[in-house]
Amino acid sequence: MNIEKEITSTLSRAKKTLSVAESCSGGLLGHRLTNIAGSSNYFYGGVIVYANSAKIKLLNVSPHLIKSHGAVSAPVAKKMAQGVRKLLGTDLGISITGIAGPSGGTKDKPVGLTYIAAASAREIICKEFHFKGSRLKIKTSATQAALKLLLKII
């Protein structure tokens, strides 16, 4: 069973709902989840918050948080996951923020740096990743890691 089918089965059995907040993955996570029949049982929707202003306006990420830590950071990823959960009223929220490249990286935050967070009412899990490869490879790796993290929080 592929991971998307496993998530569909697990969330449907648990009667849990999910929403996603995506930045660098640009909607790929939502795409992968909704490719599976039955995803409408648990998937409420998602937001693509590429611009910082969208993170602030839609997900209630503090401008101070972005200024002090950067949009690509664990605190922002956590707030995005909590924010989308609250925005769409779901049991679980998952977020991805990172630098897909090929430009945009710095010495401190290189291309491939990605933070993924999953939030429930009881906990928030956030992990840092350093993916390699093309823009599409980084986006695909990020969504795969997000799906694995989601299984841990269900």
Q: Which domains does the chain have, with CATH numbers?
A: 3-153 (3.90.950.20)
**For residue range 123-139, what is the model confidence (pLDDT) as tens digits?**
999 999 999 999 999 99
DSSP 110: -
Cα angle, residue 7 at apex, residues 150 and 30 outer, rounded to 5°? 75
CB 97 within 8 A of CB 114: yes
Entry pTM: 0.97
Average pLDDT over residues 102-123: 96
**pLDDT per position as a tens digit, 36-69:** 999 999 999 999 999 999 999 999 999 999 999 9
107 φ/ψ sector (left φ>0, alpha ψ -120 to 50, else beta): alpha
C-alpha to C-alpha distances, 151 to 35, 71, 104, 106, nearest whole angstrom: 17, 25, 30, 31
Cβ atoms of 20 and 84 closer than 8 Å: yes
